[in-house]
Amino acid sequence: MRKVFGGGRVFDPRGGGLAAADVAIEGGRIVDVGIDLDGDERIDVGGKALLPGLFDCHVHLALSTIDQWRLLQTPLSYRFYEAARNMRTTLGLGITTVRDAGGADLGMKQAQADGLLAGPRLLISIRMLSQTGGHGDPWLPSGGEAPMFPPYPGSPDAVVDGPEQVRHKIRELVRDGADVIKVASSGGVLSARDDPRHPQFGLDELTAMVDEAAATGRWVMAHAQSARGIKNALRAGVRSIEHGIYLDDEAIDLLLSHGAYLVATLVAPQGVIDAAEQGALIHEASLRKAREVVAIHRDSFSRAVKAGVKVAMGTDSPVTPHGQNLRELGLMVEGGLTAAQALTATTQSAAELTGLEDELGTLEPGKRADLVIVAGDP
């Protein structure tokens, strides 16, 4: 049956604006976009905007808090029910595709694809590769461990050192269903005992990651906050830089020359501060780092935008709670993107980053009928 969504305004990322048009759908695909289209069923959208389904390229659906004490007190199985709620919440924003940066596993992905869970389609990394003592190593001074994600079958521990361990772990993650490989090539904010200004993993290890991932047709996304960690990751050939807090001019040049994407997650540092103010138990060192980087992070993003770096939208939710993902678009506009460019970053550019541009990201014939209807002027 041919269904027509008529009387709307279609967003075209290539043109950067909204234009009056109808969208015809048949068999789950867009078959036509134009004026006064006929169909078996016509749905008048009353002048609303028709957008491609939105993306969030950096989320953690299996996490609902950054409060370490609450995480330690939450049964592992309970997190899967929370994840189901987070998926519904995310889909309710018009986000129909996410790249999960750690936590979601193959079971969650299959449950969504099979219709058992309502939520966006998932691209999963399962676990972030971390070096001993680095961002993501759950070791505690007491001798215990406090992992954000306890290891279990299909979601292995991922603290590794040296090219051989790296290659073995990537093979394990690919076996477990990972669509993309994630690595921490620098310290971070929420890891209390490292520094976001310091690099992690050597170039040989990062190169081994990219090479091993590429052997199975996968890309690497790098949590990279320090200038050197960003540059090492780019020289190794990663697909995207996540966060990019301490970008310098050389790092921006490498982003441009390698054609890599920046997924800035601008909402994240302020999200740490907000969570602490609302009572979340967050280490004082993490809170101090979050306060230090807010302005630096936004300045780095602005310089990258001005230079023409490719940008895709990501949030790092739940650092900022699930359901508030679209706050990132406002910060991207404050950082120098136009409103149309920010929408493009969460549609067409995000689809290109994730390799889904033939199916998603724009409303045009042949692509999936993946669209969002929005009142007003987005």
Catalytic residue among 169, 182, 231, 367: 182
Distance CA 77, CA 105 (A): 13
- Does the 54-354 domain belong in CATH 3.20.20.140? yes
Residue 273: name the closest of 297, 303, 248 by CA: 297
Question: Hey, what's the torsion of the CAs at 186, 156, 316, 245, to 10 degrees?
Answer: 0
Per the rule left: phi > 0, alpha: psi between -120 and 50, beta: everything else, 367 is beta
Q: What is the pTM of this model?
A: 0.96
Task: Note whether 3-51+363-374 and 54-354 share their fold.
Answer: no
Query: Is 231 annotated in the active site?
Result: no
Superfamily name with CATH number, domain 3-51+363-374: Urease, subunit C, domain 1 (2.30.40.10)
Catalytic residue among 67, 179, 316, 370: 316
pLDDT tens over the chain, length 378 residues:
999 999 999 998 887 789 999 999 999 999 999 999 999 999 999 999 999 999 999 999 999 999 999 999 999 999 999 999 999 999 999 999 999 999 999 999 999 999 999 999 999 999 999 999 999 999 888 888 888 889 999 999 999 999 999 999 999 999 999 999 999 999 999 998 899 999 999 999 999 999 999 999 999 999 999 999 999 999 999 999 999 999 999 999 999 999 999 999 999 999 999 999 999 999 999 999 999 999 999 999 999 999 999 999 999 999 999 999 999 999 999 999 999 999 999 999 999 999 999 999 999 999 999 999 999 887
Instruction: Specify which residues 11 forms β-bridges with.
Output: 18
Residue ranges per structural domain of the chain: 3-51+363-374, 54-354
Query: Is 182 annotated in the active site?
Result: yes
